[in-house]
Structure 1
Amino acid sequence: MDAPPTARQHCASLQEALTHFHDDRRAGLAQAVAWGRRLAALLPTGGRLLVAGNGGSAAQAQHLTAEFVGRYRRERAPYSAIALHAETSAVTAIGNDYGFDEVFARQVAAHGRAGDVLLLLSTSGSSDNLLAAARAARAAGLGVWAMTGPAPNPLAGRADSTVAVRSPSTATVQEVHLVALHVVCEAFDEALDAADRAAGAAVLSGKAA
């Protein structure tokens, strides 16, 4: 049975967006690799990754933190990564007392420390609660990263660096975000492996001396 036109269009949209992600050195593959390497320097020294999103982006945020607290491919130490939306009692208490726009910002103020990283996922790049979280992160001295749909958008404008997916389709943006998150994990593990090899070589060199 032939695939319906909508299915073909979906696949074509994803293929086009992935091509842009691969080729765009400013806001695509290279940026995701750089993020993974940065986290490999931050998390093993006690730094923390905070992640937030709404709806499908919340699910992807939680997917990412599971990879760091658990593992991606190989056995390794667990690292601190928190999906802010998963703190259901905090989210509902803050939403009830302060409004939904503050559900992430107050958690950033509570958990974030200078030098930590806040990663915000949004297909629109305009969610008020994520914009408030970005403001809170800057006030606390955190780095702010964003994964969004097409730029420019408000969230990209408040982030230190952004992976912006060039597609008008929300589904396609989310699919490429998942690819980008896995690239971050791969780059993180590769950087840890390289650091371990360098440390081992230094030990052997010291023994030889």
Structure 2
Amino acid sequence: MIDFIQQKVQASIDVKQHILQQPELLGRIEQATELVATAFRSGGKVFFCGNGGSAADAQHLAAEFSGKFYLDRKGLPAEALHCNTSYLTAVSNDYSYEIAYARLIDGIGKAGDVLIGLSTSGNSKNILLAFEKARSMGISTIGFTGKGGGKMRELSDVLLNVPSEDTPRIQESHILIGHILCEIVERNLFA
């Protein structure tokens, strides 16, 4: 059992080592921080969306902005789109789950905002439709995906594709990258 645990810890470390060895990906993380900081500075909002574990990660990262990360500072306008369960279940029932995020972005988003989508495959239909809607409205898109990027590759202004095809390892790295994003944005705006 200890060997199995060590293998899983090492697998997580290996993915993070691969991230360190990809200067292009590190540069895109920096680009993402600039997009988010610019949105907040200009009065924009940052929206997050995901499914399952990625929805939990989206909610976690939104809370880091709207609450606080390291600094005791004012809250920033960030929210995870799935948190209104009445909305989500009504739209899913009356229309389809696939359009729930796109419809909400259409209702509350505006040019200058940022939509961050988390999908390990990069092919979640509800996130793809939300990205399409966002781009048509002048909302920047940041995709957190796995190795290939899936269909989100073409719809992301900034693609943060973790070099792995293993869902748990991708999600662990999404949180790492998300925390880096939160810390840099917080420092830029409030330090």
Q: Which of 7, 18, 21 is residue 20 of structure 1 equivalent to?
A: 18
Q: Which runs of 5 or more residues in structure 2 are unaligned?
A: none
| Equivalent residues of 1:70, 1:78 under 8 A apart | yes
| Equivalent residues of 2:31, 2:158 under 8 A apart | no
Structure 2 residue aligned with 1:81: 78
Provide the C-alpha distance between the structure 1 equivalents of 2:42 and 2:122, rounded to a whole number of angstroms.
31
Partner letter of residue 3 of structure 1? I
Q: Would you say 1:191 and 2:188 are equivalent positions?
A: yes
Following superposition, the deviation at residue 32 of structure 1 comes to 2.3
Greater alpha carbon shift after TM alignment, 65-74 vs 32-41: 32-41
Query: Secondary structure of 1:26's match?
Result: helix
Q: Which runs of 5 or more residues in structure 1 are unaligned?
A: 195-209
Partner letter of residue 25 of structure 1? P
- Matched residues, number: 191
Following superposition, the deviation at residue 61 of structure 1 comes to 0.5
Provide Cα deviations, 1:140-159, integer angstroms capped at 9, x if missing partner.
Answer: 11111100011141112211
Provide the C-alpha distance between the structure 1 equivalents of 2:120 and 2:165, rounded to a whole number of angstroms.
9
TM-score w.r.t. the length of structure 1 is 0.86
Provide the C-alpha distance between the structure 2 equivalents of 1:41 and 1:136, rounded to a whole number of angstroms.
20
Q: Would you say 1:11 and 2:3 are equivalent positions?
A: no
4+ residue stretches of structure 1 with deviation over 6 A? none
Structure 2 residue aligned with 1:154: 151
Provide Cα deviations, 1:24-56, integer angstroms capped at 9, x if missing partner.
Answer: 1222x3322332233222213310101100000
The within-5 A match list for 1:84-163 is 84-163=81-160
| Equivalent residues of 1:101, 1:129 under 8 A apart | yes
Rg larger in 1 or in 2? 1
Provide the C-alpha distance between the structure 2 equivalents of 1:182 and 1:188, rounded to a whole number of angstroms.
10
Q: Which of 53, 56, 59 is residue 59 of structure 1 equivalent to?
A: 56
Provide the C-alpha distance between the structure 2 equivalents of 1:4 and 1:123, rounded to a whole number of angstroms.
27
Greater alpha carbon shift after TM alignment, 177-186 vs 17-26: 17-26
Identity level (%): 35
| Equivalent residues of 2:149, 2:159 under 8 A apart | no
Structure 2 residue aligned with 1:206: none
Provide the C-alpha distance between the structure 1 equivalents of 2:12 and 2:94, rounded to a whole number of angstroms.
40
| Equivalent residues of 1:32, 1:181 under 8 A apart | no
Structure 2 residue aligned with 1:50: 47
Provide Cα deviations, 1:157-205, integer angstroms capped at 9, x if missing partner.
Answer: 21111111111211000000000000001111221246xxxxxxxxxxx
Query: Secondary structure of 1:103's match?
Result: helix
Provide the C-alpha distance between the structure 2 equivalents of 1:152 and 1:65, rounded to a whole number of angstroms.
22
Following superposition, the deviation at residue 10 of structure 1 comes to 1.5
TM-score w.r.t. the length of structure 2 is 0.94
